[in-house]
Amino acid sequence: MREITTLKWEKGNLLLLDQTLLPHTVTYVTCKNLEDVYQAIQTMIVRGAPAIGVAAGYGMVLAAGAYEETSEESFFDYLKAQGEYLKSSRPTAVNLMWAVDRIVKTAEGFSGQPFETVVKEIEAEAIAIHEEDKQTNRNIGMNLLSLLKDGDTVLTHCNAGSLATAEYGTALSVFYMAQEKGMNIKAYADETRPRLQGANLTAFELTEHGVDVTLICDNMAAVVMSQGKINAVIVGCDRVAANGDTANKIGTFSVSVLAKQFGIPVYIAAPTTTIDMDCPTGKEIPIEERSREEVLRINGEYIAPKEVKTYNLAFDVTPAEYITAIVTEKGIVYPSFRDNLKILMRK
């Protein structure tokens, strides 16, 4: 089995597995400054909410190191401005905002210290964000596993796997924890148009790890559910609002509606870093709209008239009523989400 790491921090550079080239090519892109990280996030070289957060942490280290001590702008004003710029690379995954704010807060905690000390502390914090994500995902996987029984089959959408995180993934962590426990949990993966994360990434990473995975087209979810092949839907998330409404990859909403129709539970694998208690409901979650080219082409080839109108939302919001439970590293949250998320986030 190949060991494939999504993000590496080596000798003061951020190395990112180029996810736009998977599953055919495994190669890394080196980010030497904040602009490189911004571009990597925007072009989805790195993607998936927690991985974007980890990359942003290191992006801030690179920004801090590039500060000119002779500059008229104070270091803290500079760092905040760089952070705001980085946050604008993709709007939906709140982990990006969370990681930037955490780094800025760390820096502020060392104000008055020599510049080199502050930069070192920022680097230590970025590494901590990276390391914490691994343990978080193991815990989410174990909590998800407690909701399943040996032999179950899970439908997932997009990629909320090790490629989307520091390691293990959130939704896909359940398959790796099952392997560790000697349980047999099978996967169905939606292909996930337009970017095909299910086909290019989930099918790839689960196959690499020896998980039994069946790839289906997005429009097949209803029939596989009706055939009794699916015991649970488990997906990741980019932002969970305080009332439980959840933004995730476009198509998650449809899958959740179908699951309700067929009496199949829908579990959201959510690190607490993706829960935004300042966002009251799904209506306030900013939804990224991406280029029309993503809809018009597959693998670079046009599949539609170039002039046709398109609409390309990268995410949708699944209303809380379609969600059975939100599974975090701190525990499993059931409705009423508004009350129970509040209790969880106080822990």
* Angle separating helix axes 94-109 and 75-87, nearest 10 degrees: 170
- In the complex, the smallest distance separating the C-beta of residue 195 from ligand MRU, rounded to whole angstroms, is 6
Angle at 329 between CA 323 and CA 331, to 5 degrees: 60
Contact status: 205 vs ligand MRU (CB under 6 A): no
- In the complex, the smallest distance separating the C-beta of residue 256 from ligand MRU, rounded to whole angstroms, is 13
Strand partners for 313: 289
Contact status: 139 vs ligand MRU (CB under 6 A): no
Q: Which of 36, 133, 190, 238 is catalytic?
A: 238
- In the complex, the smallest distance separating the C-beta of residue 56 from ligand MRU, rounded to whole angstroms, is 13
CB-facing half-sphere around the CA of 157: CA atoms within 13 A? 32
Contact status: 328 vs ligand MRU (CB under 6 A): no
Three-state SS letters, the chain = CCCCCCEEEECCEEEEECCCCCCCCCCEEEECCHHHHHHHHHCCCCCCHHHHHHHHHHHHHHHHHCCCCCCCCCHHHHHHHHHHHHHCCCCCCHHHHHHHHHHHHHHHHCCCCCHHHHHHHHHHHHHHHHHHHHHHHHHHHHHHHCCCCCCCEEEECCCCEHHHCCCCECCCHHHHHHHHHCCCCEEEEECCCCCCHHHHHHHHHHHHCCCCEEEECHHHHHHHHHCCCCCEEEECCCEEECCCCEEEECCHHHHHHHHHHCCCCEEEECCHHHEECCCCCHHHCCCCECCCHHHHEECCEECCCCCCCCCCECEEEECHHHCCEEECCCCEECCCHHHHHHHHHHC
Q: Residues 14, 17, 36, 48: which binds ligand MRU (CB under 6 A)?
A: 48
Contact status: 164 vs ligand MRU (CB under 6 A): yes
Total residues at the site for ligand MRU (CB under 6 A)? 18
Nearer to ligand MRU, 107 or 269 (CB): 269
Q: Residues 34, 45, 93, 225: which binds ligand MRU (CB under 6 A)?
A: 93
Nearer to ligand MRU, 123 or 316 (CB): 316
Binding mask 52-91 for ligand MRU (x = CB under 6 A): ----------------------------------------
Q: How far apart are CA 316 and CA 63, in angstroms?
A: 32
Nearer to ligand MRU, 63 or 314 (CB): 314
Among 28-36, 72-80, 162-170, 254-262, which window interacts with ligand MRU (CB under 6 A)?
162-170
Contact status: 197 vs ligand MRU (CB under 6 A): yes
Q: How far apart are CA 224 and CA 161, in angstroms?
A: 22
Q: Residues 158, 296, 317, 326: which binds ligand MRU (CB under 6 A)?
A: 158
Nearest residue relative to ligand MRU (C-beta): 236
- In the complex, the smallest distance separating the C-beta of residue 86 from ligand MRU, rounded to whole angstroms, is 15
Active-site annotation holds for 316: no
- In the complex, the smallest distance separating the C-beta of residue 169 from ligand MRU, rounded to whole angstroms, is 6
Contact status: 50 vs ligand MRU (CB under 6 A): yes
Q: Residues 49, 97, 185, 189: which binds ligand MRU (CB under 6 A)?
A: 49
Q: How far apart are CA 4 and CA 2, in angstroms?
A: 6
- In the complex, the smallest distance separating the C-beta of residue 100 from ligand MRU, rounded to whole angstroms, is 17
Contact status: 47 vs ligand MRU (CB under 6 A): yes
Nearer to ligand MRU, 125 or 190 (CB): 190
Residues of span 228-267 touching ligand MRU by CB under 6 A: 236-238, 248-249
Catalytic residues: 238
Chain residues in the site for ligand MRU (CB under 6 A): 47-50, 93, 158, 160, 164-165, 169-170, 197, 236-238, 248-249, 314
